[in-house]
Amino acid sequence: MVTKHEDPDCQHCNSRYRSVFCDLHDAQLHDVNLSKHCNHYKKGQIIFHQGMRPAGIFCMNSGKVKLSKTGGEGKEQIVRLARLGDILGYRSLLSNENYSLTAYALEDASICFIPKSTFFTVLAQDANLSMQLMKLLSTDLKHAEEKITEMAQKPVRERLAEALLFIKETYGFTEDGQTLNVALSREDIANVVGTATETAIRLLSELKQDGIINLTGRKIAIIDNQRLINTANLID
Amino acid sequence: MVTKHEDPDCQHCNSRYRSVFCDLHDAQLHDVNLSKHCNHYKKGQIIFHQGMRPAGIFCMNSGKVKLSKTGGEGKEQIVRLARLGDILGYRSLLSNENYSLTAYALEDASICFIPKSTFFTVLAQDANLSMQLMKLLSTDLKHAEEKITEMAQKPVRERLAEALLFIKETYGFTEDGQTLNVALSREDIANVVGTATETAIRLLSELKQDGIINLTGRKIAIIDNQRLINTANLID
DNA sequence: TTCAAAACATGACAAAAGTCATGTTTAAGC
DNA sequence: GCTTAAACATGACTTTTGTCATGTTTTGAA
């Protein structure tokens, strides 16, 4: 399932300056580099599963990942989208709990695994890493609280517009400068927004009718960014 | 507005062993004690306001506080309920942003203020405090992600039942062993649940009709805890 | 390349929840 | 302890959103 490839080197990792490890001292980075190993995942593969025990953290080298929570009736809610340089599984490791989310590869991905022991050793040696992690958790928490508020107060159309802007922020555009650089199914989009798949499909069609976006299969192009922002009705 | 009283002493604070500062060494606790000052707030007063710049953190000595976010149309979403020993404002301070929430006293409260400089000094000296804060942020984040999922997937009746259980967990019962030990307005309850006030009122009446709770003015008594849990339809 | 399964799309309908209106009760301040 | 505004309660109605059914298109595996 998971294929071991030539491991990249943390010192020269293309995601180094995007990650929470960016300020690590050479000695600590060396430790991480020695104990980590890198895995390749195929599209659709699970990196870790809700309920399982964490044994370390994951650092994304390439690819795209969705993190989602499965609710009572088995319905999925996408809580986060991850890309190069993002770390996964730190929340559960820090609070010493089993994973509360499942991580799925949205496309082929290369992801390094850093064992728990190394992570906590480095954490004890580098106060700056603690600070970075606290900042990361703090902003994650702020966004989560904003999302709760929006789920309670905004209609689906506004949340859908916002989700498209969020996807744009996370993965950017392809070379044409307007097509979202990720292939999400309509169901995935519905599970980001927190609505039924049919509703998401209908409202996407509406946005297309309104000339705000374009749809070509799974390709979504934002053709009127300002009107999309207006539609999202963002809070300050 | 804010009255200065005889300051309590951190060493002998009744909330010491409930707070994130519980493991602080004597030297650090001494620093905190010297620089903190304690304020009394009347019911309804604001401790800090969304958008304002944090100058330190707050540590609750007594009373009850709601933390809420004001959405685009001015509607309030209650994000957290705080009690003795809880700290407030740490998220914004850690990520160096303005407050994303407003804190209101639900009843008369006594709350200590610890200046930013002291907080960060102590944080730099005590690695354990970082760890405690990371754990706190991690569990807050987990709960926020669960709430997002529930907002997306559960009907209001289930969320209301869950909110009542949450209030019970936070503030407990009065002496009679079944009346929730806090006076929340129907609007506050609706703003915890994320629904319209009228809907919350209607569904509370339903739960009363069903013999699960009792309502006497603002007093809410849980008379059938198991059925309330069933109604909440909790995820594992 | 073909073909079956999955994903997408859309209509019709049902259910859930919000809004508005109105009357009653409660509680806070004088 | 009055008085009056706020909170609570409830009915009627509307809107939003979800569900089910059905047909079409796409996609991935043989």
Residue B235 has a pLDDT of 64
Residue B4 has a pLDDT of 42
Residue A5 has a pLDDT of 47
B181 CB closer than 7 A to any strand C atom: no
CA-to-CA distance for A178 and B24, rounded, in angstroms? 52
**CB of A103 closer than 8 Å to CB of A91:** no
Residue A3 has a pLDDT of 39
Q: What is the pLDDT of residues B42-77, one digit of tens each?
A: 999 999 999 999 999 999 999 999 999 999 888 999
Residue A94 has a pLDDT of 96
> Using the 8-state DSSP alphabet, how is residue A217 labeled?
T
Cβ atoms within 10 Å, residue B155: 10
Positions of chain A with pLDDT lower than 50, given as ranges: 1-5
User: Please, which residues have CB within 8 angstroms of residue A135's CB and are 6 or more apart in sequence?
Assistant: B94, B95, B96
Interchain proximity B154–A71, CB inside 8 Å: yes
CA angle B110, B121, B32 (to 5 degrees): 30
Q: Does A101 touch chain B (CB under 8 A)?
A: yes
How would you class B211 by CB atoms within 10 Å of its CB: exposed for 0-12, middle for 13-18, buried for 19 or more?
exposed
β-pair type (B219-222, A219-222): unpaired
Residue B1 has a pLDDT of 40
Return the beta strands (E) in chain A as ranges.
Answer: 3-4, 37-41, 46-48, 56-62, 65-70, 76-82, 87-88, 102-105, 109-115, 213-216, 219-222
Positions of chain B with pLDDT lower than 70, given as ranges: 1-6, 235-236
CA to C1' distance (Å), from A173 to C1: 33
N-to-C CA span, chain B: 45
Residues 152-211 of B with CB under 8 A from A: 152-154, 194-195
Residue in A closest to B142 by C-alpha = A100
B20 vs A124, A180, B129, B136, CA distance in Å? 19, 43, 7, 8
Residue A19 has a pLDDT of 85
Match 């709430």 to its residue by tokens. Answer: B147
CA-to-CA distance for B155 and B163, rounded, in angstroms? 12
Residue A236 has a pLDDT of 56
